[in-house]
């Protein structure tokens, strides 16, 4: 909820800040910032975003992050709908900063595909960022427990073009039933939302002095439930968008002292304004964490710490009880050659319970692991839905248009700004010229795909998803 009329800061909030900001001058500066105007930032897609916003200031901790001078009307920007950038709060991009350093470390230790989980993923800012860090064969599971938020996660991940992602809708405990399989776990846990007071008036209105304690208890439960799934030596990126120590340092004390984890320091970019926290837990273990205060960094309130798991639990599950996933046969091999840029990198699977529909994943992914995940998790999507082969005719899935894996050889039609918006509205394009040859065409705006049309000679059909239709 964004509004120019700000609700007053809740009673008891300033007093709670004293433990995080002992100096009154600092607290006053923060309170003043929380009544100011929030900055607008975006994060570019590594491929589709090249050349955009090059002249704008960069986010210090994200090479793809940019600060905008004003908040535009994103709904009328075809680049946005093509997945060329993601509108993301700058401080939360620090999750990707931490993950990048963890992944570099793990890749130096052993050469194998890595598995990442974004536990609380909707609407998709952190997951699209993590997806941009993946190497060949890696896997990202983007999970969202809230039913009313899973739809927007699916939409944003597919606009981004995340071929190496599995989207799930589950509780943390479901992940913990499969032990020792996650290399990097990002847990941006539900919190009291104090860091969002500048832009979210609902967060101000629902806050009370008891809320941080309630959230801290839930956060502990979430981490304990999923921790068995983290490999020995794997990393937990724990983050909140709040200021109080109950949800931040005090929870970390518990994780370090009671759950046998180790705190890992990060090297910060110079001049970032990020506050580094270094202290000892009650058990004497070192703790390293990082705070973002809106009066010191250009972004909202945020807190992050990286922990490494030391203990190991023996796996309870060796294989799935039922085979669910089947690779497509040799008869489908020509589809990879025709529709993907690097067919040797990908494989096709028959989607369970969806007749004649194929999905695209990295060639390294194995059926046994997908079967195991399907046994314990509520999977919404695996890889990128590729399309249907019906009576020898292939119909591409709407989501395939956004994938960077799509071959440049696939026919495309470049349209101008006005027709791009008309296509997104599913209205007739005024300057569109029907191609002479019938078939599938990607509608493209300045080199970025917006979706599919099928030319039928005298007319065309617009296959832009109805649920995404632009209404303005």
Cα 161 to Cα 401: distance, rounded to the nearest angstrom:
8
Q: In the numeric block, which tokens belong to residue 349?
A: 């699977």
215 carries an active-site annotation: no
Contact 383, 349 (CB under 8 A): yes
Pairing of strands 139-143, 115-118: parallel
Render the burial of 203-233: b for 16+ CB within 10 Å, e for the rest: bbeebeeebbeebbeebbebbbbbbbbbbee
Cα 247 to Cα 301: distance, rounded to the nearest angstrom:
13
Active-site position among 62, 165, 215, 241: 241
Cα 151 to Cα 146: distance, rounded to the nearest angstrom:
10
Q: In the numeric block, which tokens belong to residue 372?
A: 């195991």
Cα 144 to Cα 436: distance, rounded to the nearest angstrom:
45
Q: In the numeric block, which tokens belong to residue 289?
A: 């964490």
Report H helices in 230-347.
Answer: 249-258, 333-339
**Host H or E run for residue 298:** none
DSSP letters along 5-56, please? SPPPPPTTHHHHGGGT--SHHHHHHHHHHHTSPPPEEEEE-TTTTTTSSTTS
Helix (H, G, I), strand (E, B) or coil at 309: strand
Cα 304 to Cα 302: distance, rounded to the nearest angstrom:
7
Comparing CA positions, the residue from 406, 447, 409, 444 lying closest to residue 163 is 406
* Catalytic positions: 241
């Amino acid at each position: 909820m964004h509004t120019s009329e700000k609700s007053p800061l809740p009673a008891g909030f300033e007093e709670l800040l004293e433990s995080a900001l002992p100096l009154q001058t600092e607290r006053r500066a923060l309170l003043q910032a929380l009544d100011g105007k929030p900055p607008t930032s975006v994060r570019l897609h590594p491929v589709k975003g090249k050349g955009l916003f090059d002249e704008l200031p960069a986010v210090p901790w994200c090479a793809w992050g940019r600060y905008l001078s004003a908040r535009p009307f994103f709904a009328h920007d075809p680049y946005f709908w093509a997945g060329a950038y993601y509108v993301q709060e700058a401080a939360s991009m620090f999750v990707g900063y931490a993950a990048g350093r963890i992944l570099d470390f793990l890749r130096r230790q052993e050469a194998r595909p890595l598995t990442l989980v974004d536990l609380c993923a909707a609407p998709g800012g952190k997951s699209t960022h993590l997806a941009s860090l993946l190497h060949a064969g890696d896997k990202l599971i983007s999970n969202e427990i809230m039913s009313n938020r899973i739809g927007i996660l699916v939409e944003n991940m597919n606009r981004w073009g995340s071929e190496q992602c599995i989207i799930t809708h589950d509780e943390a405990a479901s992940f913990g039933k499969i032990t020792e399989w996650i290399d990097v776990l990002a847990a941006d846990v539900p919190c009291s939302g104090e860091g969002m007071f500048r832009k979210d008036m609902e967060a101000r209105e629902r806050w009370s002095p008891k809320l941080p304690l309630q959230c801290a208890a839930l956060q502990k439960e979430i981490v304990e439930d999923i921790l068995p799934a983290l490999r020995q030596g794997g990393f937990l990126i724990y983050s909140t968008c709040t200021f109080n120590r109950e949800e931040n340092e005090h929870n970390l004390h518990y994780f370090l002292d009671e759950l046998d984890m180790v705190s890992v320091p990060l090297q910060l970019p110079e001049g970032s304004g990020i506050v580094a926290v270094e202290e000892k837990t009650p058990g004497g273990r070192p703790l390293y964490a990082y705070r973002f205060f809106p009066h010191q960094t250009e972004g909202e309130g945020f807190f992050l710490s990286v922990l490494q798991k030391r203990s190991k639990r023996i796996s309870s599950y060796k294989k799935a009880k039922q085979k669910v996933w089947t690779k497509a046969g040799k008869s489908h091999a020509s589809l990879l050659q025709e529709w993907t840029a690097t067919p040797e990198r990908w494989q096709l699977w028959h989607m369970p319970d969806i007749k004649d529909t194929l999905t695209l994943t990295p060639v390294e992914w194995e059926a046994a692991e997908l079967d195991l995940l399907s046994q314990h998790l509520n999977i919404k999507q695996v890889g990128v839905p590729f399309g249907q082969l019906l009576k020898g005719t292939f119909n591409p899935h709407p989501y395939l248009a956004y994938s960077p894996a799509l071959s440049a050889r696939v026919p495309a039609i470049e349209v101008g700004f006005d027709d791009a918006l008309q296509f997104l509205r599913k209205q007739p394009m005024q300057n569109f010229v029907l191609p002479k040859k019938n078939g599938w065409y990607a509608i493209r705006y300045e080199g970025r795909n917006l979706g599919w049309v099928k030319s039928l000679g005298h007319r065309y059909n617009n296959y832009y998803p109805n649920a995404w239709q632009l209404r303005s």
